[in-house]
Structure 1
């Protein structure tokens, strides 16, 4: 079924059958989907995935490069806000720092459209979907005190409430800046708030931005859950 097709009006409920595990049919499907994705990632390996996706990555990078060219330095942004309970922002960010310099498996597991994540000589490399396109890009220049656009961003929140801030350019291997990220964290009485902003060139279709806001929700939720599990 494509995104443009309407879902038939029908409801199906689980009344009896599976023993143990709990959850809904959607929960069962998610478990099996994650297991299948992990199997293929493991069998193919990092280089195997890159080889398999090489043509699509070339097309995706060309799309983003063209959007950057026609936007002439102008960006549009959107924000996803998540509330977490049971974990402090410092604990989460410490887990993230360790994950990006170690085994990429927990980073990949957070989203089915994560293909490669890790740090090389250029920076923190990410191969993932940007909207319907697969792209290979880098993140770098973290810190709101090092990037002029971050200092003046309309989405910048008060330091007193969101003291943990990180910003980055998203750039291709040739240096073309194809996006920006501004992520801000503020602790609450029982957890923390994540304010996750992403920017893309203004000529990118709106669906690219919308899908990445959904992407943020999925990956950060799963990273937060993984970070909490690692505290035990």
Structure 2
């Protein structure tokens, strides 16, 4: 189907639909609020967390990694990460807006970060941060670790449930280029997770970080 005439603004029908979908979703999130979303999704979260917990158990501590790589122009990694620091410190709306399947993204009093989002088809509630002594020692030996000279901004985290079960790992690495920066975004999921779950999280990374980078650029970061 081809749009022959009518709207005078730039964009395709797909662009129009995306704009309206985002506007509708933002309205629903705002009206429901954080607790309303948690109440609405309680059964989904229970099922999703059970999936992650069982995957961690049957994987015996083993993880499978995947990496999404993005390149950005017109913005340095330092400027982008400064914008991200501000957003993660309390601008939940900006964090939620980056992906349709973001439901909660909020800092906790203990320094961890609470996330409710999809892991594959599963709605899950987990926390980002360390867990236990030397919890992030894995990052120093990760196969995905890139040279510090090229990627000086590296952050790593465990993904864990409220009972402390580690259900994943994340490593993000950023390095400047001649006209912008490269983002290398790695996730580790339990080895018994279906391949499609990892695939969808790599797509998730692409969507959310593209939108965060675009928002940072629009804000003049």
TM-score of the superposed pair, with normalisation by structure 2: 0.96
Structure 1 unpaired stretches of 5+ = 1-11
Partner of 1:89: 77
2:56 to 52, 65, 68: 68
1:53 aligns with 2:41: yes
1:112 to 96, 100, 104: 100
1:217 aligns with 2:209: no
Partner of 1:231: 220
1:231 is displaced (CA, Å) by 1.6
- CA distance in 1 between partners of 2:160 and 2:86 (Å): 22
Q: How does 1:24-63 map to 2 (within 5 A)?
A: 24-63=12-51
- CA distance in 1 between partners of 2:87 and 2:94 (Å): 7
Q: How does 1:10-21 map to 2 (within 5 A)?
A: 12-20=1-9
TM-score of the superposed pair, with normalisation by structure 1: 0.91
- CA distance in 2 between partners of 1:189 and 1:69 (Å): 45
1:166 to 147, 155, 171: 155
- CA distance in 2 between partners of 1:203 and 1:146 (Å): 21
1:154 is displaced (CA, Å) by 0.7
| Alpha-carbon RMSD | 1.4
Given that 2:159 and 2:166 are in contact with CA atoms closer than 8 Å, whether structure 1 keeps it comes out as yes
1:146 is displaced (CA, Å) by 6.8
SS in 2 for 1:222: helix
1:127 aligns with 2:116: yes
How big is each residue's C-alpha offset from its partner over 1:135-181, in whole Å with a ceiling of 9 and x where there is no partner? 00010039xx9722111111111111111100110001110000000
Runs of 4+, deviation exceeding 4 Å: none
1:26 is displaced (CA, Å) by 0.9
